[in-house]
Amino acid sequence: MRITAILGLGLLASTQAVAMGNGCPQGQTNYFNCSSPRVMTLCGLPDGSGLHLLLEGIKLGKGASYSAQQLRPGTVAVGFDDDGVHYQLYDDESEQGLVIETAKGKVDALVCKGGHNSLQALAGRLPVAE
């Protein structure tokens, strides 16, 4: 299963993702970055287009339809579907992380320990989640 492969990657993929500087290709904006418990970075163009998630060095969501959601004041979530799996990055006042839900309903939550995010910048640039 793809989600198991993503979460079970080793040090090599983590090293490759970190080696990109801010985690994104040159000319792209880093909207979300976390190095623990998994290396993950949401990259895209400054206008919010071209988004993709790098999770342990694997590029996800390229060309996917992204949406933003204000869960409550101060909390923004950005989500997309890739290969039958739903990914939702969130930024709460007290924590940030990634929730992964498979088509069969299995849910994994990765709560970041440190990192950078500016998901709020995408709130007005993406369609509102239903």
Domain containing 31 equals 2-122
pLDDT tens figures, 56-96: 989 999 999 999 998 877 788 999 999 999 999 998 777 89
Q: What's the total number of domains in the chain?
A: 1
For the cut 50, the answer to whether the pLDDT of residue 123 exceeds it is: yes
Q: Lowest mean pLDDT: which of 13-17, 107-111, 113-117?
A: 13-17
> Is residue 68, in this structure, part of any structural domain at all?
yes
> Is residue 81, in this structure, part of any structural domain at all?
yes
> String of b and e for 74-106 (b: at least 16 CB within 10 Å)?
ebbbbbbbbeebebbbbbeeeebbbbbbbeeee
User: Residues near 61 by Cβ (< 8 Å), separated by ≥ 6?
Assistant: 51, 52, 53, 80, 82, 87
- Between 48 and 21, the more confident residue is 48
> Is residue 129, in this structure, part of any structural domain at all?
no
- pTM for the predicted model, two decimal places: 0.79
Q: What's the confidence (pLDDT) of residue 13?
A: 34
> Is residue 19, in this structure, part of any structural domain at all?
yes
**CA–CA separation, 29 vs 27, rounded Å?**
7
Q: Are 7 and 1 in contact (CB under 8 A)?
A: no
> Is residue 130, in this structure, part of any structural domain at all?
no
> Is residue 94, in this structure, part of any structural domain at all?
yes
